[in-house]
Every structure is written in C-alpha cells, then in structure tokens.
Chains A and B, each alone.
Chain A
Amino acid sequence: MRWLRFAIGLLIALTLHSLLDSFYPNALAFFNPYLILVIYYAMGGNLVGAIFAGIAAGLVQDAYSGAIFGLHAFSLTVIAYIVAYINSRLVLRGTLPFGACLFGGSIVNDLVIFIMVNILLKQRIEMFEQEMIVKAIFTSLFGMLVYQLLTLFLREEPIEAARRPAY
C-alpha cells in the first residue's frame, strides 16, 4: 500500500514535470517535485524504503532530463537516506520540520550534483549559489503547501514505518 501511494506520487510528480516543461521550461530550476516526494516518503523513517524511493524517483527524473543518467538517482538516494536516518531517531512531524528538511535536502541535492558532475565530466560546470537558494526556498514553500493540503483535507501524515529504538 505504501509503495502504491509512492507510485501514484511519482506519476503526479512526472505529470507536474511534463506540465511545467510545456508551459515554462525553466520551472525545474526553481522547484523539484521529485525531491518533495522523496523527502515526504523518507520522513516515515524507513531507511530501506527511503533508499528505493530515492532510486525510483531519481531514475525517472534522469530519464526525462538531459543530465547524466543516474545523477539525480544518486543525489536523491543520499538525501532520502539522510532524512530517513534522522527521522528514525527523532520524531519530526508538522509542516515546519518538513519545510526544513526540504530546504536542507534541496541544498544537498544541488551540492551532490555539482560534485558528481565535476568528478565525472571533463567539462566543469559552475555553481550558482543564488539559484540554489532560490530553488531551496521555492521547493520548501511548495512542499509545505502540499503537506498542509494533505494534512488538512486527506488527514495524511508522512508514510508511516516501523521506528527503531535509538541505540
């Protein structure tokens, strides 16, 4: 059931990606629907599930963007693992913690992509700090709005998972 909900979320993210590309091709420079989906899933605290969620969402994003295939899968898997790890030890619930995770996740996502591209490609790319911050802000705001809507209208919480005790 959890995976079904994630798959539906992934289809919605891809639909959003397609729609935005049709009307405003630069939209993904400002916000990332796949990141929102992965962090939402990872906040359940299930480490293994989060890893696979990161891979699935990242590969779909890679297939429909011009980046190196596997690049977004790599970065989203790293973020999913970090968020799930934190949430397996701390109970983070509510819109603000979700927004904070999205903000941090967006920054980490761009940093991982920047590092991996500079390692793998002969041609260096520059890092745009302003674009990174703007993207983090917009992704957080949009993600928090989605979270609020899910909580208010569907009484939805981040996909639950068994928590491990803190050792």
Chain B
Amino acid sequence: MYHINKIFALAIIILLTGCSIGGEKKIKIFSVEKPREKLDYPMPTALQLEELKWIIITSENAQEVFAKLEAAGIDPVLFGVTDKDYQVLSRNFAQIRQKLQETNNLLKEYKKYYEPEDKE
C-alpha cells in the first residue's frame, strides 16, 4: 500500500509538471509595412512652340508693309498693339512662363519627396 501511494504521488507530480517540460513557446511578433502604390505619372510633355513674326508698322512704312504682304500673297491685314501694350504683352508672357516653371518645379519637388527613386 505504501509503495502504491508513492507511485501514485510520483505519477501526479509528473502529470502536473509534464506540460511545462521544454518551456513555453516563444511568440514572434513582426510587422510588414506595405508602402502605398506610387502614382507615377510621367512629367508633362515639354511644349514646342511655333515661331511667329513681328512686323513693326509706322505711319511712314505702312504702305510699304501692306504692299509686301500683298506681294507675298498674305491678306493685307495686321493685328496690332501699341509700344506700351507690347511691353505689357512681354510682361504677361514672362509671368506665364514663370508660373509654368514654378508649377513644374513644384511637381518635381513633390515627386522627389513622395516618390523618391532610390526606394523603388
């Protein structure tokens, strides 16, 4: 009887501690960052402007200019601006060009900041 008790006690001890033999399993935690897809628009195509010709007409050369136009088969009509308006036109075009350059630069900077090439 004494031996049976000993064996019983031993069996219970093994039963209770058996599950913990080998230690607890380690929990592995990892996170994977999935970057946002790139918009990747190509930069806008550069403009290719056509050349236009300015003709200066004064009261003295007007007849000659119109005669030349007619001789060249061009309608003898001109759309004119005064010297002051020519300056305004020049300034306006300069401002349009600057705005274009600024916008293009902003686009490049945004692209560089949000879509850097080295992370591709």
A binds B: no
Interface residues of A (CB under 8 A from B): none
Interface residues of B (CB under 8 A from A): none
